[in-house]
Amino acid sequence: MPGGRRLLLVLAVVTLLLAVAAVVLSLQLREQAETDDRRAAALAAARQSALNLTSIDTREFDEDVRKVLEGATGDFLADFQERTKDGELESVLVENQVVSEGTVIEAGLVRSDETNATALVVIDSTVQNTASPDGRVNTYRMQLELELRDGAWRTSTLEFVA
């Protein structure tokens, strides 16, 4: 094989190898971006779920409950529906004129995969009521289990942790 043909063959092989490497790298980058996006969405949902649970205003009770329920599934959904269905929780909150506003201090994912995630959220909740009209700050640490359902991350379990 003459030198010119050999050089062309080598260049063709190198070009093919570079193209394959570029495709593989591109696929890996896309997969990493999808993983990062999924993790960010799960963490954002955990933060929002914790905020919704700790931000209740008796003047907007139904709307605040709706927000919590929209981000819930599984045991957490069933438990929260049970606690709010008979009006007892609302009457206690209204009677004590409770207004609570949460602020996320820190949040992070402990683990995640394509459809499940575990998050830890630290949140301060400023609570005003008849006993504390100027408000007091409560700090909560929560562990949330999340599931990807119908294209959205929803809290399936929420536990207060020490």
At a CB cut-off of 8 Å and minimum separation 6, what does 145 contact? 116, 117, 118, 155, 156, 157, 158
Cα(75)–Cα(3) distance, rounded to whole angstroms?
Answer: 73
pTM greater than the 0.85 cutoff: no
Per run of 10 residues, the mean pLDDT along the chain (length 162 residues) is 78 82 81 90 98 94 95 96 89 91 97 97 96 94 97 96 88
Q: Residue with structure tokens 């529906």?
A: 81
Question: Residue 117 belongs to a domain with what CATH number?
Answer: 3.10.450.50
Evaluate whether 135 touches 126 at the Cβ level (below 8 Å): yes
Cα–Cα distance measured from residue 41 to residue 122, given in angstroms and rounded to the nearest whole number: 18
Domain that holds residue 150: 3-160
The number of domains in the chain is 1
